[in-house]
A and B are shown apart, each in its own frame.
Chain A
Amino acid sequence: MTEAPASAAHAGTIREIAETRAAVPGALLPILHEIQDQLGYVPDSAVPIVASVLNLSRAEVHGVVSFYHLYRRTPPGRRTIYLCRAEACQAMGARDLEARLKEKLGIDFHETTSDERFSLEPIYCLGNCACSPALMIDETVHGRVTAERLDSLLEEG
């Protein structure tokens, strides 16, 4: 991956986020979360900066970023759709919903539409299993999602 041109501007932000939290016990995850909150993802350029602030090796920081499913390594689309793939949602048609969603968006999981409107991610349970199938768009959870409801959610986008 080539770095986004904005990475120089990001560097200052990333350093500041890391420095203000460096003294927190177990600071790495809170720092990565804050970077993702502010930038939408954790750019590769963040790894050496965070490593130097926390006195860790780059390999250690990279290992953490890549271990956790919810850290993004690339910029997201305008909205991110998290589709629940877990069992309670499967029991209520999540597999069909997944096929429909991928077809409508023309992308697979971990991809972003070419117009950058949507990114699509799998998620394993939103705690909405009594109102399944469920999905989350950014931070808004939707339950009892039918094919029609899915279509209208995409249109509202």
Chain B
Amino acid sequence: MAGDTLRIYVPNDTAARSVGADAVAAAIERTAGERGVAIEIVRNGSRGLYWLEPLVEVAVAGERVAYGPVTPDDVPGLFDAGFTTGGKHARHLGATEALPYLSGQTRLTFARAGLIAPSSLEDYREHEGYRGLEAALAMDTQAIVDVVKESGLRGRGGAGFPTGIKWQTVLDTPGTQKYVVCNADEGDSGTFADRMIMESDPFVLIEGMTIAGLAVGATQGYIYLRAEYPQAIRTMNTAIAAAEQAGYLGADVCGSGRAFHLEVREAAGAYICGEETSMLESLEGKRGMVRYRPPLPAVKGLFGAPTVVNNLTTLATVPIIFVRGGEFYRDFGTGRSRGTLTVQLAGNIKRGGLVEIAFGRTLREVLEDFGGGTATGRPIRAVQAGGPLGAYIPTSQFDTPLDYEAFAEIGAMLGHGGLVVFDDTVDMGQQARFAMEFCAIESCGKCTPCRVGAVRGVEVIDKILSGQDEAGNRELLEDLCGTMVDGSLCALGGMAPFPVLSVLKHFPEDLVAR
């Protein structure tokens, strides 16, 4: 690293920019110019400490020192305080890595997030990048799948299916053309982990998908990326071009003689297209109608070919498993939930952000120790876990440990790890109504219980809230939920009732006439 130029890191992540990072970068540039200070601004990704964004860092004696949240107005004062060499200031937070929010985490998948410049393949390589692929290239296909099995990695997209077993099916299914599809549709409210990887460490996804391709014999990969993430689309496309240029993608991956091509496909704003078979229909250029199964996508997926479909965070976790070994990864976690969970603290939370920790800590620990309670300072009343199809969890269940099975036991789900926090001003009747409304808007229309049931659900809740035959309509609502749960083809119609039922069970005082 050059000794003379001062490096200043200003995140280029969507969330950081949404709260002013570009203006801060411009103010630093301008002020440095005025004062004749030679600096280099590096637009890194985000550390995921979103409540501190814009979080500016400087490199001092090989260590990163943080300041945040910084506004453009703070910038002249920061220069006065000598922040370029770590000087004290009201926004001074100390060494970034020593911040309890970060030092209390186990960053495996997100180790590089915020550390490196996402546009730089060189930076990636200097931080263990492409070491996993190197290891995988020396193995045969079965050995690669075995490492993933050994790691205990389960899908991070919601269902928690063992990744190694899915890959084994694709490997064992004969086919001249196979595919790897990355589910980057990240539709759940309260989640941003996939976006953060794409914007902060895009090469780790490319590397993970390449390893998946080698493992199962797929030569083409697609990233199905939601249109709501324009910046992630740009970052991924830039990174793919750089990887192609450097020979990490293409007809001859790293001179191995094996091909892997990768392409971003932009989605078009339908939540149901996060469901894997609907997503495959969409990639084929059709309406996102859910498919009956069997056949599984692993056997008959994209264009009828054997296809690995994995969530983005799942695929981005693969490289570290190959750098450190399956056993290393499996040693984190609890029970059948191995490795790390990416919690995303969202909504009404004081310290919102990304928290990667081993499975097994309780919900309360995460909400309090990391989250610090609500942003409004009022008591927490409910947390919705696992996206719009997840139950609302009351405070009495906050001692539940974060693992797939423990959550299932209380009728909740971890899903993609999003925790949306509400304070005591929340109207749970409105939240129940929204669950049904969302299902009605997003239903693919294939089955009646979902398509018609959700619309009916909204009507029935409206009747309850307006005082029409409350007892009768509450009973009707429960029946309707049961019909949707039992009679829906996929989890949209099958689980949209869960938040509603959780309100009926834990917050019945809000489902009354007002």
Q: Mark A60-94, 1 if CB is under 8 A from B, else 0.
A: 10011001111100000000001000111111100
Main secondary structure of the interface of A (DSSP, over half): mixed
Residues of B near A86 (CB, < 8 A) are: 189-190, 388
CA–CA, A54 and B285, complex, Å:
11
> How far apart are B383's CB and chain A's nearest CB, in angstroms?
10
Residues of B near A129 (CB, < 8 A) are: 189-192, 344, 346-347, 352, 418, 420
Residues of B near A68 (CB, < 8 A) are: 268-270, 288
Indicate whether A48 reaches chain B with its CB closer than 8 angstroms.
no
Query: Once the chains bind, are A126 and B228 in contact (CB under 8 Å)?
Result: yes
How many chain A residues sit at the interface, stated as a range, is 35 or more
Query: Once the chains bind, are A124 and B438 in contact (CB under 8 Å)?
Result: yes
Main secondary structure of the interface of B (DSSP, over half): mixed
In the complex, the chain A residue whose C-beta lies closest to that of B287 is A67
Query: Once the chains bind, are B228 and A127 in contact (CB under 8 Å)?
Result: yes
Indicate whether B139 reaches chain A with its CB closer than 8 angstroms.
no
Residues of B near A131 (CB, < 8 A) are: 15, 18-19, 50, 53, 352
CA–CA, A143 and B191, complex, Å:
15
Indicate whether A105 reaches chain B with its CB closer than 8 angstroms.
no
Query: Once the chains bind, are B283 and A87 in contact (CB under 8 Å)?
Result: no
Query: Once the chains bind, are B227 and A130 in contact (CB under 8 Å)?
Result: no
CA–CA, A28 and B257, complex, Å:
32
Indicate whether B9 reaches chain A with its CB closer than 8 angstroms.
no
> How far apart are B417's CB and chain A's nearest CB, in angstroms?
12
Known: A130-B345, A130-B353. A30 touches B265 (CB 8 A): yes
Indicate whether A26 reaches chain B with its CB closer than 8 angstroms.
yes
Query: Once the chains bind, are B420 and A88 in contact (CB under 8 Å)?
Result: yes
CA–CA, A25 and B421, complex, Å:
42
Contact partner of B349 (CB less than 8 A), chosen from A33, A128, A130, is: A130
CA–CA, A69 and B268, complex, Å:
7
Q: Mark B14-41, 1 if CB is under 8 A from A, else 0.
A: 1101110000000000000000000000
Query: Once the chains bind, are A125 and B268 in contact (CB under 8 Å)?
Result: no
Stretch in A7-15, A110-118, A134-142 with 4+ CB within 8 Å of B: A134-142
Indicate whether B130 reaches chain A with its CB closer than 8 angstroms.
no
8 A-B interface contacts by CB (under 8 A): A30-B266, A127-B191, A127-B192, A129-B418, A130-B353, A131-B18, A134-B18, A143-B18
A interface residues, Cβ below 8 angstroms from B:
25-30, 32-33, 54, 60, 63-64, 67-71, 82, 86-92, 95, 123-132, 134, 136, 139-144
